[in-house]
Amino acid sequence: MAKRLACVDTVSLFPYEDARGMFEAASGRELLKYLTAYRFGTVEWEIVPGTTYERAVLGEVDTSAPEYQRFEGQLYRSVLERMVFDGLLVPKQTGQTAEQAPA
């Protein structure tokens, strides 16, 4: 779901890491780090010594930024809906907070 929301594909964006098999053994949490770092522009690239390859160096994503908060909200909502746990979600209504949602 994160790949769809971030509009990125880890294999094509991070070929060095993919060639090393990093994504095959990676947990969802690890993949999410790569996807969000790319989505929010915090990836830097460095040459792997002795090669012509570049590896990704992931920077910190500002999780307090409104854009990130919207992304995270969309991600969690989409994941819960896909897992058929959407009954746990607060209905989308303008101005409604979690505390105001019907029990």
For the full predicted model, state whether its pTM sits above 0.75: no
Band of the pLDDT at 24, cuts 50, 70, 90? confident
Instruction: Compute the distance between CA of residue 40 and CA of residue 49 in angstroms, rounded to an integer.
Output: 27
Please, where are the H alpha helices in 1-103? Answer: 2-6, 10-13, 15-19, 28-39, 66-82
Domain ranges of the chain: 2-86
Q: What is the pLDDT of residue 48?
A: 94
pLDDT at 103: 47
- The 10s digit of each residue's pLDDT in 36-69 is 898 899 999 999 999 999 999 999 999 999 998 8
